Every structure is written in C-alpha cells, then in structure tokens.
C-alpha cells in the first residue's frame, strides 16, 4: 500500500488485512467522476465494514493543490469520508496496480487476490 500519509486510520498493510475483503478506490478530490462514485463507496463502507469489508481510498492527485495533505484532509472531512485514505503523491501504488484513470476500483478477496476491477474506461461495459 502507499507509503504516504494516512487519514482516518493508522497505516494499513494488505498482508495484515488477510481474512477481510478489501475495496481499494483510486481517486482524487478534484475529479467529478470520483465525486459521482463517492456515495456508493461510502455506502459500501457503512453497510459492510462490520461484515469484513475494509475500504481504502488511495488519493493519487491530478493537480498541484490536490498534493497538499491539508487540502486532502479538508476535502475528506467535507465529503464525509470515514474510511481510510492514503496519499499517493508519487504514484507508486497507482503504478503498482497499473491504474490508468480516475476513479478505478479494485476488490480483493480474503486472500488478497484481485477479484474485480472497474475503471472509468470500462465503467459502461458489462
């Protein structure tokens, strides 16, 4: 997982989340498509966290103002995000997952394997 600053959580490591389903959402707060998917991600967190789902928002900025952690903290609070968010200003995690667009969502099974992925390019495809 990204080595950046964590919001709403102590640093999380995927190997420590084995036994839980993990949803990883690559996003940036200036992205309108990210804001459009945010209600769904927040809802999944609220409904399923007690049943074993961990949601992690990986914030990979598009613009300079999105790189500043104080701006991200303000937006996370303003948007009502209560799940873990980590900064990915150097795009290390973005690159490791071969992400190409905002938002991109991965669903990992309890063993840490990617079971589902959806990005904006494929959003309207079945």
Q: How far apart are CA 38 and CA 76, in angstroms?
A: 11
φ, ψ dihedrals at 102, nearest 5°:
-100, 145
Mention every residue, 6+ apart, whose C-beta is less than 8 A from residue 17.
Answer: 54, 112
User: Which has the closest alpha carbon to 61: 94, 28, 25, 20?
Assistant: 28
The H-assigned helical ranges of the chain are: 32-48, 69-78, 92-96
Q: What is the pLDDT of residue 3?
A: 82
The answer as to CATH 3.40.30.10 being correct for domain 19-115 is yes
Given a contact cutoff of 8 angstroms between Cβ atoms, the answer to whether 2 and 34 are in contact is no
What is the pTM (predicted TM-score) of this model?
A: 0.94
Q: What is the pLDDT of residue 38?
A: 97
Residue ranges per structural domain of the chain: 19-115
Per residue of the chain (126 residues), give pLDDT as tens. 668 999 999 999 999 999 999 999 999 999 999 999 999 999 999 999 999 999 999 999 999 999 999 999 999 999 999 999 999 999 999 999 999 999 999 999 999 999 999 986 665 555
Give the pair of three-digit tokens for residue 17: 């989340």
Given a contact cutoff of 8 angstroms between Cβ atoms, the answer to whether 65 and 75 are in contact is no
Q: What is the pLDDT of residue 108?
A: 98
């Amino acid at each position: 997982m990204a080595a950046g600053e964590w919001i709403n959580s102590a640093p999380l490591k995927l190997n420590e989340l084995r036994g839980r389903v993990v949803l990883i959402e690559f996003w940036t707060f200036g992205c309108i498509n990210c804001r459009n998917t945010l209600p769904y991600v927040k809802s999944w967190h609220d409904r399923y966290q007690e049943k074993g789902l961990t949601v992690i928002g990986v914030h990979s900025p598009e613009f300079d103002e999105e790189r500043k952690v104080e701006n991200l903290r303000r937006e996370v609070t303003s948007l009502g995000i209560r799940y873990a968010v980590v900064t990915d200003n150097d795009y290390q995690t973005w690159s490791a997952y071969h992400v190409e667009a905002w938002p991109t969502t991965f669903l990992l099974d309890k063993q840490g394997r990617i079971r589902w992925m959806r990005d904006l390019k494929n959003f309207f495809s079945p």
